Structure 1
Amino acid sequence: IAYKNCDISSRWAGKEPSDFSLPQGWTNYTTCFYPEIREILLKWGNGTQEDAQKKLDIARGTRILEIIGLSLSLASLTVSLVIFCYFRSLKNNRTRIHRNLFVAMLIQVMIRLALYIDQAVIRGHIVDTVNSHQANGTRKGIDNTPILCEASYVLLEYSRTAMFMWMFIEGLYLHNKITVTVFQHSFHYKAYHAVG
């Protein structure tokens, strides 16, 4: 169960009981975690400031590496889609399924890149000079714009689901091509498209 602490004067307390710097206070979510995760969080929090900074630097480097990988995926998927759309000899049912899978993957990659880059810019990890007169907490980004945040994550989950459905359809198509199509000459692309 998550909880917040409130003082006698009806102000939300921060992480420390005497800290009232944030009007919304601090919500303690640690009781929501599994015991193993709580243990990891406690181990991460214990130790020197230097150890914590090292761990944050590793996490930041990992995120940058992820952004680079997603950028390469974006370029590769875009090139693949251009090839599939440009060459007429590739316009068959198998590549139509591939193309739809790649579109779902492309949407997922673009949303994840937008979220990660927005987080990096808003939190000041990439561009410290953007709105340098404002504090980090007052910058508006995807994370602190509720409708935009919810829409982004809904689209992300939708694209992830569509991606797995198109993978399933590709497997089903190959299965039918190998086993069923030997005895049947019709193709049910509309049914595949509805499922995907």
Structure 2
Amino acid sequence: MISQGEFYGAIKVGYTIGHSVSLISLSIAIIILCLFQKLHCTRNYIHMHLFVSFILKAISVFIKDVVLYDVGEAENCHSTVGCKAVVVFFHYGVMASYFWLLVEGLYLHALLAVSFFSERKYFWWYILIGWGVPTIFISSWVITKACLNDLGCWDIIDDSPWWIIKTPILATILVNFFLFICIIRILRQKMNCPDIGRKESNQYLRLAKSTLLLIPLFGINYIIFAFIPDNINSQVRMVFDLILGSFQGFMVAVLYCFLNGEVQAEIKRKWRRWMLQRFLGADLKYQQPSIGSNGNNFSTQISMLTKCSPTTRRASSACNEHFSSI
């Protein structure tokens, strides 16, 4: 039987690893979506905002641990502005992540249900929902805490003002579950519709599967522990809420970026193009052709590649098309 101190230490190591993995994977996902021009669309912009919300959550956890715990601030807190600001930043990151998951559900439902859906028109409303609404509720919580319960570093979550944060998060989860049911119903109708081809049905399914997986996965965890007091099954709660919850950002990055077929295809296309450029560069270096006397050197190199093998011919043809599109 491990002691309480050892248990808390193991919990801290667990969620530190989880948030670190999430932070790295989310950062890589954002870089990928930003680098490739063909991936710039409203859907991926929404994904990037969701990634940023989880990045803020992970960063706030690290800052909170340093300010409140590593330097003993929680034990010797004199209601400093710094420790309160850290707690406010943490709650904002958590709430923003749930609201951006709600935006993912709203966007997917609108894409499937609305016949003429203007993505740019609604995008700014999504920005307002994802970042603006959490700002309103967090500001209300700050004012309430400052007026009614201005004690310590505001890290106590069993008082009445805490419901100002908990209620909106529960509302987003319930709305997402409702959207979850509606999206499944719409998908079934579209897949059974004879006017919609198999390719289009598969496209709808690919768009929906990531969001449909995240909605119950994130929602059930929060709802189960939302109405249970902190002193009941506190160790089980910490394992699920802190350790497993710390890997949520990693799961978001995997589902919305790393397993995304469009992202994988674009990375493979860039990789083939880079390999061809490298091969042609090395070949030109050793042969030292006269660029001025022969304007068809590039075409000659491509024709040489196509004589190698059918596999090389296909790769060269594809890469030639990529070069011609530049």
Amino acid corresponding to residue 98 of structure 2 in structure 1: F
CA contact (8 A) 1:71 1:113 kept: no
Q: For residues 64 and 166 of structure 1, what CA distance do their matches in structure 2 show?
A: 27
State the partner residue of 1:56: 5
Q: Structure 1 pair 185/56, CA: closer, same or farther in 2 (3 Å)?
A: closer
Q: Does 1:155 align with 2:104?
A: no
Q: Does 1:122 align with 2:60?
A: no
State the partner residue of 2:231: none
Q: For residues 87 and 144 of structure 1, what CA distance do their matches in structure 2 show?
A: 49
Q: How does 1:33-112 map to 2 (within 5 A)?
A: 54-112=3-61
CA contact (8 A) 2:68 2:83 kept: no
Deviation at 1:117, TM superposition (A): 3.9
Structure with larger Rg: 2
CA offsets per residue over residues 101-123 of structure 1, 9 Å max, x none?
11111011001012224455324
Structure 1-normalised TM-score?
A: 0.58
Q: Structure 1 pair 117/69, CA: closer, same or farther in 2 (3 Å)?
A: farther
Deviation at 1:185, TM superposition (A): 4.0
State the partner residue of 1:46: none
Runs of 4 or more off by more than 3 Å in structure 1? 117-121
Q: Structure 1 pair 145/82, CA: closer, same or farther in 2 (3 Å)?
A: farther
Across the two proteins, how many residue pairs are aligned to each other? 128
Deviation at 1:160, TM superposition (A): 1.5
SS for the counterpart of 1:184 is: coil
Q: How does 1:155-174 map to 2 (within 5 A)?
A: 155-174=89-108
Q: For residues 145 and 89 of structure 1, what CA distance do their matches in structure 2 show?
A: 49
Amino acid corresponding to residue 54 of structure 1 in structure 2: S
Q: For residues 72 and 120 of structure 1, what CA distance do their matches in structure 2 show?
A: 22
CA contact (8 A) 1:73 1:109 kept: yes
Q: For residues 5 and 83 of structure 2, what CA distance do their matches in structure 1 show?
A: 24
CA contact (8 A) 1:67 1:116 kept: no
Structure 2 residue runs of 5 or longer lacking an equivalent are 131-326
Aligned-residue CA RMSD in angstroms? 2.4
Structure 1 residue runs of 5 or longer lacking an equivalent are 1-50, 124-136
- Aligned-residue identity in percent: 26
Structure 2-normalised TM-score?
A: 0.36
Q: For residues 175 and 119 of structure 1, what CA distance do their matches in structure 2 show?
A: 41
Q: For residues 68 and 85 of structure 2, what CA distance do their matches in structure 1 show?
A: 16
CA contact (8 A) 1:84 1:91 kept: yes
Task: Determine which structure has the larger helix proportion and give its number.
Answer: 2
Which structure's relative contact order is higher, taking Cα pairs within 8 Å and 6+ residues apart?
2
Q: For residues 101 and 59 of structure 1, what CA distance do their matches in structure 2 show?
A: 29
State the partner residue of 2:116: 184
